[in-house]
Amino acid sequence: MIIAIDGPLASGKGTLARALAAHYGLPHLDTGALYRATALQLINKNIEPSNESEAIKAANALDLSLFENPELRSAKTGAGASVVAAFPEVRKALYDFQVNFANQEGGAVLDGRDIGTVICPNADFKFFVVADANERAERRHRELLEKGEEIALETLITQIKERDERDSNRNDAPLTMAKDAHLLDTSGLSIERVIEKACAIIDANR
Ligand code: C5P
């Protein structure tokens, strides 16, 4: 069973993906980490993420050890990830890894921005997770504070808007809901309730 989960930053898609993977005993890939690792490789060398040729080189020689690096989750790396993610050659370099992961025996859960549309168009279940922008900013603010990163809520709201804009309007694989995806609005819902809703959809159609 392949489960594809897409949605914007801090919509709750990552938490839902991890929960569904645990519930159904499937491996999980947070595909944003691939774009983040690409960006972090550049940041660590003092290269701007907007440097296209260097971004392509980094994506083609992805350093998977960066997945464990605490900087992977920083706001700076996230912003850089959305810049490198707009380069079609970067997306191409990361494509096979994701498709192979999805097609492993038994299936998998993948979350990102283009899973239901590009990486797993034939997924058994697709969810598009959304939430109110201010609630997303507050969630992300809490997450970053827990990791020791202090950032003003206002700055985060601006960054989230910029990121949504860039992810939704790029030409290659923009953030869009697949026609056959289930829309899950997590605004005001506990994570338990969101998981329950997704499991109900899966269990009714397996
Ligand atoms: O989800 P996360 O915040 O880790 O993603 C970082 C960035 O990576 C996103 O803003 C997006 O630009 C990019 N991304 C993408 N396609 C995916 C996953 C992430 O373009 N499947």
In this predicted model, what pLDDT tens digit does every residue of 155-178 receive, in sequence order? 999 999 999 999 999 999 999 999
Domain 2-197: assigned CATH number: 3.40.50.300
* pLDDT on residue 5: 98
Contact indicator for 19, 65 with CB cutoff of 8 Å: no
Task: Select from 205, 200, 195 the least CA-distant residue to 20.
Answer: 195
The verdict on the CB of residue 31 being under 6 Å from ligand 1 is yes
> Given ligand 1 and candidates 34, 66, 82, 87, which is best to mutate, with the most ligand atoms within 8 Å of its CB?
82
- Residue 141 carries which side chain, given as an amino acid letter? H
Task: Select from 16, 64, 7, 4 the least CA-distant residue to 36.
Answer: 64
> Given ligand 1 and candidates 31, 62, 160, 168, which is best to mutate, with the most ligand atoms within 8 Å of its CB?
31
Q: Where are the domains of the chain?
A: 2-197
* pLDDT on residue 195: 97
3 state DSSP class of 49: coil
The residue whose C-alpha atom lies closest to atom 6 belonging to ligand 1 is 32
Report, as an integer, the average pLDDT of 85-113: 98
Cα separation, 58 vs 76, whole angstroms: 17
Percentage with pLDDT > 90 across the chain:
98
